[in-house]
Amino acid sequence: MLGYPGLHAVWAYRVHHRLWLGGHRLAARLLSQWTRAATGIEIHPGAVIGRRLFIDHGMGVVIGETARVGDDVMMYHDVTLGGRSLSKVRRHPTVGDGVTLGAGARVLGPVTIGAGARIGANAVVVRDVPAGAIVVGVPGQVRPLPADPATPTATRVPTDDLADPAIWI
C-alpha cells in the first residue's frame, strides 16, 4: 500500500472533499494541489467519488470539479474526466459503477458512462455511453458486442475479457 500513488491520491481526496463540504474551500484546494504534486494525480475536492476507486499507474489522471465516479471503478494512467466549458453548471462526466477507463482515455463534458462500460485506451468520449458497452476510438464509438450463442438475438455484457479473445480491446 505504501507504493501506490493512486491509493494515496484517493485517501487524500477523502480529506480534501470533507474540507470542501465543510466550507474550507481554500484549504481543500491547496491540499489537493500538494497531493497532485506528490502523486501526479489531480482530483478536485468538489468531485464525488464512490467506494473502491482504483487508479493504476496514476500519473496524469485528472478528475474535474463536477465529476461523479461510481463504485468499483478502475482507472489507468493519464485518464481525464474533464469539462468542455467554464460555466458554473455540471460540466464533467458521470461514471457509473464497475466502469473501466483505459490508459489515456478522455471523457469530456456532462456525459454519462453507464455501469459496467469499458472505455478503451486513448478513446475520446463526448457522448453518453450505455451500460455494458465497449467504446474505442477518436471520437469514441460503441463497439458491438458479440451475440451470446445461447440467445442469438440478445447482446450480452462480457464478464471476463480473458475468457473471450474476440472482445479484447
List residues bridging with 62 in a β-sheet: 42, 80
Mean pLDDT within 83-99? 90
CA angle, residues 163, 81, 108, in degrees to nearest 5: 100
The answer to the question of residue 168 being in a domain is: no
**Distance from C-alpha of 79 to C-alpha of 92, rounded to nearest angstrom:** 13
pLDDT interval class at 87 (50, 70, 90): confident
Active-site annotation holds for 44: no
pLDDT interval class at 89 (50, 70, 90): confident
- Return the C-alpha cell found at 127: 457522448
Mean pLDDT within 93-102? 96
Residue 76, pLDDT > 80, answer yes
- Return the C-alpha cell found at 31: 491540499
Nearest of 145, 102, 157 to residue 124 by alpha carbon: 102
Residue 158, pLDDT > 50, answer no
**Which residue would you say has higher pLDDT here, 96 or 88?**
96
The answer to the question of residue 9 being in a domain is: yes
> Which candidate in 8, 17, 77, 92 is catalytic?
77
For 13, the domain range is 5-163
Sheet holding 48-49: strands in order across?
A: 48-49, 68-69, 94-95, 112-113
Residue 157 pLDDT = 47
The answer to the question of residue 169 being in a domain is: no
The answer to the question of residue 140 being in a domain is: yes
CB atoms within 10 A of CB 73: 22
Which pairing describes strands 141-143 and 118-119: parallel, antiparallel, or unpaired?
unpaired
Three-class DSSP category at 33: helix
Residue 155, pLDDT > 50, answer no
CATH code of the domain in which 43 resides: 2.160.10.10
Residue 165, pLDDT > 50, answer no
**What domain count does the chain have?**
1
Residue 164, pLDDT > 80, answer no
- Return the C-alpha cell found at 167: 472482445
**Distance from C-alpha of 134 to C-alpha of 140, rounded to nearest angstrom:** 9
